Every structure is written in structure tokens, then in C-alpha cells.
Amino acid sequence: MGLQAILFDFDGTLVDSEALHYTSWCKVLSPFNIFISESEFCDEFSGVPTVKTGHILQQRYNLPYSGGELATLKNTQFVETAATEKPKLMPHAVDVLSLCAQHYKLALVTGSTRAEALPVLTHYQLLEFFDYIVCKDDVTNPKPHPEPYCLAMAKLNISAQEAIAVEDSQTGLASATAAGLKTVVISHLHSAGQDFTKAAWRSDSLEAMWQQIVKPS
């Protein structure tokens, strides 16, 4: 049947949210007098699930909260910060989503919570492009587990052979490939050094992805 659907990641793929996530973690760590530079933090934790990041930080600094509690604090802080400071869209995000939606079913598959993702999607009027949205709240096992992508495909009533995933991180790539999806990776400054050997394609931008991989002939 050919390509029927495109499944997009959110953070780092459609929105440049690394700085906002970093700021949120800084506010969580500030009471413990812990400071990590933005480049150092983003290089290590870009694409890493929030709970896993929390566990790593808890163990590294022997913090008096569990990894899950730290993740909850960070998620709450992100929602509060994003209420007044929205992350920027990646270049050509609206144009590419509009073009893709004219030809394919679209799903958003994100490791963010609904409280984190939906206000940003609403602010930029992106909700109309997606046939279905999968957030961390919707699954038992978030990325890098395949469950988020499997759920999206089930809701769109398509097989892995009829879709591709668009990701920016090793965590997202692992999730998509485990679900049987061919994946195009659009890496950025903080994820460029990650292992993308399992990607079916690499692109420099959303626009290049559209032109080279999914544009109907």
C-alpha cells in the first residue's frame, strides 16, 4: 500500500524545547546548590526520559528525593515555565506538517506529558494536523519502549510497513525501531553524537526530510 502515515516526535523534532527543559531542571536542582552548564546538561540528557534523568541525578548527587519525585518536580516546573515562555518551533515545522497532513495520516508520539505538550501544540495551532496524539500519560511504558509507537499505529489502523517515524534522539529511535518502524533522524546540536546506526535515513531538517523522503512523487 505504500506510505500511509508519518509519526512525529515532539521535543527536539518539532519544537526546540531543550533550553526550557534545562531551565526547569535548573530550578529543581537550585535548592541543592547544583549547577550544570546548559551544553553539558543537554549533551548528556537530550532525548533521555525525564524519570531516567531524575534517577541519574539522584544517584550522582545523592539527592533526598527519588528519581520519580524529581521527575514530577521537573514536569511541574516545565508546565509553570511554559505558561509564560513557549519553546520555539523547529524551522519549517508548520509548513512541513501542513504538507504532510495533505497526503498522510499524522500522529504525534511524545515522551512529554499532556500537561507539557498540549499547551505548546495549542499555542502554535498544531493540533489540527494530527489524527492522534500519544503522550507519556497514555502508556505504561514510555520511550524507549515500543509501546507509544505501537499505540499510535493501532489508533491509526496502520501497520509498521505503512508508516515512518521522525525522531531526533537515540531514545526515540530505539522506541520506533523496536515497534518495527523505519525511522528518519533529524539530529541537532545536542543529539548529534548519539548512536543513530539503526536509522533508515538521516536528514538535516524537517524541510529536507519532506523533500527527500516523504514527498509524494
Instruction: Tell me the pLDDT tens digit for each residue of 98-111.
Output: 999 999 999 999 99
What share of the chain has pLDDT > 70, as a percent?
A: 100
> Considering the chain, what is the average pLDDT of its residues?
93
Q: Where are the domains of the chain?
A: 5-16+87-214, 18-82
For residue 142, report the phi and psi dihedrals to the nearest 5 degrees. Answer: -75, 175
- What is the structure's pLDDT at 45? 87
d(CA 119, CA 128): 13
Please choose, from the candidates 76, 83, 86, 68, the residue with its C-alpha nearest in 3D space to the C-alpha of residue 27: 76
- Out of 3.90.1150.10, 3.40.50.1000, 3.20.20.140, 3.40.1050.10, the CATH code matching 5-16+87-214 is 3.40.50.1000
| Predicted model pTM | 0.88
* 161 grid coordinates: 510497513
Asked if omega into 144 is within 30° of 0 (cis), the reply is: yes
pLDDT score of 94: 97
Grid coordinates 504538507 are at which residue? 99
Per-residue confidence (pLDDT) for residue 137, from 0 to 100: 94
DSSP state of 169: S
Task: Write down the pLDDT at residue 1.
Answer: 62
- Name residues of the chain where pLDDT drops below 50: none
Pairing of strands 132-134, 105-109: parallel
Kindly give, in sequence order, each residue whose CB lies less than 8 Å from that of residue 76, ignoring residues fewer than 6 positions away: none
Q: Quote the pLDDT of residue 73.
A: 95
